[in-house]
Each structure stands twice: as structure tokens, then as C-alpha cells.
Structure 1
Amino acid sequence: MKTVTDGQPKPLAHLGPAGTFTELAAMRFAQPGQPLSPLPSIRAVIEAVRNGHVDAGVVPIENAVEGAVTATLDLLGFGPPGVYMQAETDVPIEMALLAFPGTVLDEITEVRSHPVALGQCTQWLDTHLDSAALIDVASTAEGATQVRDAGAHSSIAALGNALLAEQLGLEIVAAPVQDLHTNATRFALIGRSLPPLSGHDRTSIVVFLDNDRAGQLLSVLSHFASRGINLTRIVSRPTRRAFGDYAMFIDFEGHVEDNHVGNALRAVHRHVGDIRVLGSVARADGTPSPSKPQGESDADYAAARTWYDGLRNLVQ
């Protein structure tokens, strides 16, 4: 997707501030010469896309340790429609200990960062800086900015990534310092349309159940299972419309343009209150969509349609 204004690409909005992992994800999505526009919240990014102030934005959707980013899910699933996930990328969460140039590890008496970042580095901090005070701040970028502003001869450090160190002129005292070296966050590029079929896709939907009756969830899941569609995630979230009213966020392999996926969605739609499609995107890991079971390929659907059309033509 490429949009230009006065010869320049429109800014790509992303959850700010600058120097965060979301900016790293945005740099992957950005077109050559496209400026980045950090915004203060996930809501602000989604609203900027929905209102047409920008054509695309970048938001976190899932973390390997913390799970789904519920703020993003709720805004896409329960907010006004019209914003969709168009692409995804997985960014490794590689944390470093940042300090003013010349600071050594033994001099550090205080570490400032976002509480999530501090939590992801607990074991390393307990081992190497067990007497240092851990101070919560609004973001990793805010903690690093405070370190920079403290200047030389300061005994404070921050947690952040290499991009943040480069932007603020800080020194990496130690890296990596995160406890789980397989940690990663998945980010989505969002826009106002769905991308075409790629052949290695994942679709995300929200299913709104129309009433509380036995077997309704089983009925929904059976429509996917009977067509050989693999579900990769199911998350239940309160709709906030009434106490006990929940919606199901479901991810599955395939694209809305796949015949067997479309058939399953039509079948589910008949038995629930509503379905909202959040995105149908090429998977970040590039894993091809699995082969369709017998009777569920596009050719099988075309043959069945031709047969049935011929049958109807016999009716006089």
C-alpha cells in the first residue's frame, strides 16, 4: 500500500514514543522515505487510521510471554468497524542495560524503565544489580531519556533496545539482559482494507454469540474442524455490553478468499449474533497454509458448484 501527499508518502503512525520496539516494527513496514509518526496510545493509532489522518499504523497484538495485547484486541474488536490488520511482523525483545557513556556496571545504583521491561529482566537484575533500586517510569524511552538528562557521573541506568541507545547517545553497558531469550512481540500493520490472498495466511475474527445456550461454542468450532481449518488461538473477552457477555477472538490458518474458509464463515454466521473480521494477513513466519483436506480445495468447490448449477437447470 503506497499513498503520497505532495510527492511524499503519508506518515506511518505507530505507538510511541520513539526508540521503542514498536518503532522497530514500524521501520520494517515503512516504505522508502516514509516518515514515522509516533502517537501516545494504541487508541490514538487506530483512530488516526479510522479517521483517515493516516493510511496505516503499527500496533502490538501479541507477546510470547504476556500473550494477547488486549488493548489492541478490544479496540479492533469492539470499537467502530473499518480498521483491519494488513500485515504482521515478529520483533525479538532484546533488552540492554543503557547508561551515560563511561558508566560501568559497578557504579549503577538505580535502574529506571517501564514495569513490563523490568519484569522481563528480573533474574538478570537480581544476579548483577541486586542492590540497585528499580524505578517504574512510563516507557523504556522515558527511562533512557532520564538517564541522558542526568548526564555524566550519574549512577542511574535504563533498560531499552539498541535503537534507543543510538538515538539518545547512550552506552550499552550489558546485553542481552532479558530473562527469556525467545521473547518476541508480534506487531500488526493496520489499514482500512484487507490484503489479498498470499498462500500463507492467518485470519483473525471476533464471534459474538447471540445468546447463552448449551453447545453454541462447540457448534462454532465444529464448522472449522469439519473443513480442516486449524485454529491457532482462541481468546475470550468481555464485550462490556452486559455482565457475563463475552465474545470469542479466534485466529485460524487460511484467508477469507479461500473457498473453504468462506464456507466456514458463512456457516458460523448463520448461528451466531455477528462476526467481525479483524484481518486476513500473510503470516510473519512465512509458514504456508496447510494443504486442504479432500473435498475442501478450490477445485472441489468449483466442481460442486458446477454440478449443482447443472442440477438446478433440470428444474422446469
Structure 2
Amino acid sequence: MRYAYLGPAGTFTEAALLQVPGADDAERVPAANVDEALAMVLDGSVDGAMVPIENSVEGGVSATLDAIARVDHLQIVREVLIPISFVLAVRDGIETLDQITKVSTHGHAWAQCRGWAHANIPGAEFIQASSTAAGALGLQDPEQHHEAAICSPLVAHERNLKVLVEGIEDNVGAVTRFFLVTRPGPLPAPTGVDKSTLIVPLPEDRPGALMALLEQFAARGVNLSRIESRPTGQGLGSYFFSVDIDGHLAEERVAAALTGLHRLCPDLKFLGSYNAAEGITPTIDSHNSNEAFVQAREWVAELLNRL
């Protein structure tokens, strides 16, 4: 097996990939960005790609949301949650915080440590890096001139970097969610604790358009655990929604909701059903159970037999 992930080695994305059974022994291929990782999946050079989708502090990762929405023939087969903690790694010779004039990291990491940085290194300039690991590795590159990097403890340990301060995140307990994306294939079997992800283009910009879409879920007792609007790029007022729902396509209520949604939105994109990493069993009212849907369908079938 070959898997792509956002590199270089030591990123939180690689840590997420290592939670996939068998990934320890698989070939792990670093990618420069989400588009490159997904392109490797599409052309068959890797079997899957691990990409970040949202953070409990910063919300959705727009690069991933947009990339997955643009590309067809992809499927989400697994989600992974990674607790996020950051360290401040520095170049050799840096002994105190007041020696730091430039600090490099990924934008999402900077946002999660901004409060600490403003309080402890207020004069330091933020240098955008393609990943936390890339900023950290720059400390070993004489061509780069930042004195510090905000990165994961994993990359600091693996690269033998000098850590000046540990646990610099503003929100202790922050978590980032990742998706393992493959080419389309059989759905993972339902476990009773599942999620499904959809891309829902807004059919038209009119009063009640979004309400009509949401009613399809509410009427079948399907909970939305995440909904985010993103521009399609086709002009102002043109949006799609990235949606996670509690449940598996194999469940009657979920299939019924998607059936109703497809009538309103034929361009609906189903990205997959997969085990929910939180392990929280959703509450389902008895009238939205599989049995209730089956009984209702059989009742209608009996009525139709009178024709």
C-alpha cells in the first residue's frame, strides 16, 4: 500500500496517517499540498491520501473543502482525530525568547498559538510555511533566516530540534480531524456509529432554498454534525455546502434523506459513509428507525396491491 499525506515527514497529517491499520508498513509519500495529494489518488500512484478537514479551533480547512468539492471520483473511507499540541523549536544558539525576530509555521498553527506569541514574542514576524514541519525543517537550512518555528513535538523529536518552550497552544485540548480519501469503491460496513459526507450545491439563490434542503434531513431525523458554505468560484451568490451527517447510507433514514435531497439538487455529490471517530452513538427517535421506514414502505405496498 502507498499513501500520500501533507509533508514533509513529521506533520500532524502523517501522525493521522499512522493511525490507519497497516500504515506503519506502507510506503508514505509526502505531498506539498492537498491538490497534489488528491491528484496522486486520482492517477493511481497512491492508494489513498490523508488530508486535514477541520480543526476544533479554526474550523474547516478551506483548501481541503474546495479541493474535494472540485474533484470527482473520490471517496472518504475513514476519519481520524489528532489532539494538537505545539512546541517552539529554535536554531542552535538561541537561548531566550527575546532573541527571536522571525517565527515560521503553517497559518492554522499560527492562529492556534497567536495569543501565546503576542504575549511572549510580540515583536516576532510570522513567516508563512507550507506546513508546520516545513517551517521546522527550515531551522536546519542556512538559506532560511527565521530563528524559531512552531511545530509538532513529533517533528521536533524526529529532527532532533532544540525545543525552547512546550505546550504553546492557546486552546488546550484542540483537535484536528482528518480524512483518508481513496478512489471510489465499496463502502465501509455500517457500525451504528457512522458519518456521511456530502457536497450540496445550492440549486438557486432564492428565499427558502437552504431551508428546503435542510428539511430533507429534519423530516427523516438525520442530524447535521457540520455544515459549511463555500463559494463555487462562479460569481457572487454561487455557493455549495459541505455537509457531514450522522449516519450511514445503508440506514433507511439516511437513504431517504438523500433521495429527497437529490430531487431538489441533482448535482448532489456523495463522498462516502465511514465510522465516526468520536464513537458517540446518535439518538434516533423510534419513528425514524429502520424498522419504522420498512413498515411504512410495506404498508404503502399493500395499498398499491389494490390497484
Work out whether the TM-score is over 0.5.
Answer: yes
Counterpart in the other structure of 1:7: none
Offset, 1:242 = 4.2
Say whether 1:129 aligns with 2:121. Answer: yes
Offset, 1:302 = 2.0
Which of 276, 299, 302 in structure 1 is aligned with 2:294?
302
Matches of 2:128 and 2:63 in 1, distance apart? Answer: 20
Contact 1:202–1:283 at 8 Å: present in 2 too?
yes
Instruction: Give the aligned residue type for 1:158.
Output: A
Counterpart in the other structure of 1:71: 63
Matches of 1:43 and 1:59 in 2, distance apart? Answer: 10
Instruction: Give the aligned residue type for 1:177.
Output: I
Distance 1:133 1:228, change over 3 A: closer
Offset, 1:186 = 0.7
Offset, 1:92 = 1.8
Contact 1:113–1:139 at 8 Å: present in 2 too?
no
Offset, 1:118 = 3.2
TM-score, normalised to structure 1's length? 0.86
Counterpart in the other structure of 1:118: 110
Distance 1:167 1:110, change over 3 A: farther
Offset, 1:143 = 2.6
Instruction: Give the aligned residue type for 2:147.
Output: I
Distance 1:233 1:143, change over 3 A: closer
Counterpart in the other structure of 1:6: none
Offset, 1:246 = 1.6
Which digits, 9 at most, give the CA deviation of each residue in 1:65-120, with x for residues without a partner?
Answer: 221112111121222x1111111111122100113567533574334312523343
Counterpart in the other structure of 2:218: 225
Matches of 1:39 and 1:115 in 2, distance apart? Answer: 15
Counterpart in the other structure of 2:232: 239
Counterpart in the other structure of 1:43: 35
Offset, 1:183 = 2.2
Offset, 1:36 = 1.0
Matches of 2:104 and 2:152 in 1, distance apart? Answer: 12
Instruction: Give the aligned residue type for 2:182.
Output: G
Q: Unpaired segments of 5 or more residues in structure 2?
A: none
Counterpart in the other structure of 1:200: 193
5 Å-filtered alignment, 1:150-169, equals 156-169=147-160
Matches of 2:146 and 2:205 in 1, distance apart? Answer: 58
Matches of 1:312 and 1:199 in 2, distance apart? Answer: 32
**Aligned-pair RMSD on alpha carbons?**
2.4
SS in 1 for 2:19: helix
Offset, 1:278 = 2.0
Contact 1:11–1:34 at 8 Å: present in 2 too?
yes
TM-score, normalised to structure 2's length? 0.89
Counterpart in the other structure of 2:50: 58
5 Å-filtered alignment, 1:172-191, equals 172-191=163-182
SS in 2 for 1:94: coil
Matches of 1:155 and 1:78 in 2, distance apart? Answer: 35
Instruction: Give the aligned residue type for 1:144.
Output: A
Matches of 1:173 and 1:249 in 2, distance apart? Answer: 39
Deviates more, 1:96-105 or 1:175-184: 96-105
Contact 2:203–2:209 at 8 Å: present in 1 too?
no
SS in 2 for 1:143: helix
Offset, 1:274 = 2.2
Which digits, 9 at most, give the CA deviation of each residue in 1:127-164, with x for residues without a partner?
Answer: 333455544444322332232345xxx99222111111
Structure with higher Rg: it is 1
Contact 1:227–1:293 at 8 Å: present in 2 too?
no
Contact 2:105–2:151 at 8 Å: present in 1 too?
no
Contact 1:77–1:278 at 8 Å: present in 2 too?
no
Give the aligned length: 302
Counterpart in the other structure of 2:6: 15
Instruction: Give the aligned residue type for 1:66.
Output: E
Deviates more, 1:21-30 or 1:202-211: 202-211
Instruction: Give the aligned residue type for 1:302.
Output: V
Deviates more, 1:63-72 or 1:124-133: 124-133
Matches of 1:86 and 1:98 in 2, distance apart? Answer: 35
Deviates more, 1:98-107 or 1:302-311: 98-107
Distance 1:211 1:202, change over 3 A: same
Distance 1:111 1:184, change over 3 A: farther
Matches of 1:299 and 1:236 in 2, distance apart? Answer: 34
5 Å-filtered alignment, 1:258-277, equals 258-277=251-270
Instruction: Give the aligned residue type for 2:267.
Output: D
Matches of 2:257 and 2:123 in 1, distance apart? Answer: 57
Matches of 2:157 and 2:222 in 1, distance apart? Answer: 45
